[in-house]
Amino acid sequence: MSGPKTTEPVLDVRNLTATFGDGELTAVNDVSFTVGSGEVLGLVGESGSGKSVTLRSIIRLVPASGDVSGEVRWQGQNILAMRDAELRGVRGGQISMIFQEPMSALNPVLPVFTQIEENLKAHTDLDGNGRRARARELMDMVGIPDAARRLKEFPHQFSGGMRQRVMIAIALASNPRLLLADEPTTALDVTIQDQILKLILDLRDELSMSVVLVTHDLGVVAATCDRMAVMYAGRIVETGTVSEVFAQPNHAYTRGLLGSVPHAGTERSRLLSIDGTPPPLDRIPPGCAFNPRCEFATDACRATVPPLQDLSPGRSVACFNRDSVVAAGSPV
């Protein structure tokens, strides 16, 4: 198992903000984080937290109506300021992305080989034979048996888990340095989810990639990620290594989220739930967005947005009452 690394970050996201509809809706609000080399960062949140938009904004994959500002530093360059030609080299090249619904992310009328080959053509200098050999190699790497035959098949001939493997093979075709994974296992059954997550970890080790994994499932974070960033209503509210955050959540939302998930020892007891629902983007409460649902909220929380403060390198929290939250202890 490779733990968190403290080397120079490969990806440095600074003050990322994404708005839609002429600035009316703010999906991502002043988000900053870094991803170290070979590190798996979990972006955790519920619906409307902005975790997926954040991920997509990294490679400017947001709808045309969206407006992204801030900085995404990648190998000394700001992706958000790149010209389209440069961006194309990075997207699907050094940075690849996989999605929640492999069926809609794959082209249904093209055989799998053509779709892998497309990426190889765009990002490598291999000739026809080389591409065929590489495609077979990739299929083996992601654990699809009988690669030669299956390359000729179409996406609908694959099961959900196998489709996700195909998508990973396509993403890996260009030897990416960073893999962006948007809820890659949410649509899969638990035994298949287990296979895919472990595949991603194995590939991370083998290819020394970094991974940003977006998920709503804290169990997935606990099982796969080195560090995590918790998002709520478009902002990061807490970051840290996974073991730090689980052992001692500093933000009331993180604590509530951990307590909402049943675990060994809580059988048939009341869960530490959070009242209310996550706010829709057009009705984010003033002050700390979490204050109406927070048992620790004070007047300060209703008036001002708490800044994300560093506690130690890589560990930060945005909460005025973190002392009371820490005192309340971790629910897990």
Partner 1 sequence: MTQDVLITAEDIGKHFPLPQGVVSRLSGRPAPAVHALNGVSFQLRRGETLGVVGESGCGKSTLARCLVRLHECDEGRILFEDQDISALSGTARRAFNRRVQMIFQDPFGSLNPRMKVRSILSEALSVHKMRPAADIPARIAELLDLVRLNPDAADRYPHEFSGGQRQRIGIARALAVEPEVLVADELVSALDVSVQAQVVNLLLDLQDKLHLTVVFVAHDLRLVRHISHRVAVMYLGKVVEIGPTEDLFSAPRHPYTKALLDAAPELDPTRRSRTVAARGELPSPINLPQGCLFHTRCPHALDRCRTERPALTPRSPDHEAACHLTEFGNPETTT
Partner 2 sequence: MTDLAPPSERPRRLALPRPLILGGTILLLSIAVATFPTVFAPYEPDAFDYNALLQGPSMAHPMGTDNFGRDVLSRVIHAYTIDMQIAIFATIFPFFFGTIIGALVGYAGGIAETLFGRVVDAVITFPFLVLVIAIVSVLGPGLVNMYIAIGVVGWVFYARITAAEIKVQKRLDYADAGRAMGYTHMRIIFRHLLPNAITPAVVYWMTDMALAILLGSSLGYLGLGAQPPAAEWGVQIADGKNFMATAWWISVFPGVAIVLTGLGFSLTGDGLAELLRTKR
- What residues make contact with partner 2 under the rule CB under 8 A? 275-277, 280, 283, 292
With the C-alpha atoms ordered 120, 13, 214, 66, is the resulting torsion angle positive or negative? Answer: negative
3-state secondary structure of 157: helix
Binding of partner 1 by 191 (CB under 8 A): yes
What is the end-to-end Cα distance of the chain in Å, rounded?
23
Distances (CA, A) of 267 to 21, 142, 261: 45, 38, 11
Binding of partner 1 by 327 (CB under 8 A): no
Least separation in angstroms between residue 290's CB and partner 2 is: 13
Binding of partner 1 by 1 (CB under 8 A): yes
Q: Is 288 in contact with 297 (CB distance < 8 Å)?
A: yes
CA distance 237 to 71: 19
Q: Which of 21, 130, 262, 329 binds partner 1 (CB under 8 A)?
A: 262
Phi, psi of 65 (to 5 degrees): -75, -10
Binding of partner 1 by 140 (CB under 8 A): no
Choices 7-15, 68-76, 103-111, 186-194 (CB under 8 A): range interacting with partner 1: 186-194
Q: Which is nearer to partner 1, 74 or 158 (CB)?
A: 158
CA distance 284 to 318: 16
Q: Which of 58, 68, 135, 197 binds partner 1 (CB under 8 A)?
A: 197
- b/e sequence 64-94, b meaning 16+ C-beta within 10 Å: eebebebebbbeeeebbebeeeebeebbbbb
Binding of partner 1 by 328 (CB under 8 A): no
Q: Which is nearer to partner 2, 125 or 275 (CB)?
A: 275
240 forms beta bridges with 228
CA distance 297 to 319: 9
Partner from partner 1, partner 2, none binding residue 256, C-beta < 5-8 Å depending on class: partner 1
Q: Which is nearer to partner 1, 58 or 167 (CB)?
A: 167
Least separation in angstroms between residue 293's CB and partner 2 is: 8
Least separation in angstroms between residue 48's CB and partner 1 is: 9
Residues in the chain: 332
Least separation in angstroms between residue 67's CB and partner 1 is: 27
CA angle 6, 52, 278 (to 5 degrees): 110
Partner from partner 1, partner 2, none binding residue 270, C-beta < 5-8 Å depending on class: partner 1
Near partner 1 in 221-240, by CB under 8 A: 221-224
CA angle 305, 311, 313 (to 5 degrees): 120
Least separation in angstroms between residue 279's CB and partner 2 is: 9
Partner from partner 2, partner 1, none binding residue 191, C-beta < 5-8 Å depending on class: partner 1
Give the rounded distance of the alpha carbon of 262 from its chain centre. 23
| CA nearest to 161, candidates 174, 146, 144, 175 | 144
Residues that bind partner 1 (CB under 8 A): 1, 46-47, 159, 161-162, 189-195, 197-198, 201-202, 216-224, 242-243, 246, 256-264, 266-268, 270-275, 277-278, 293, 332
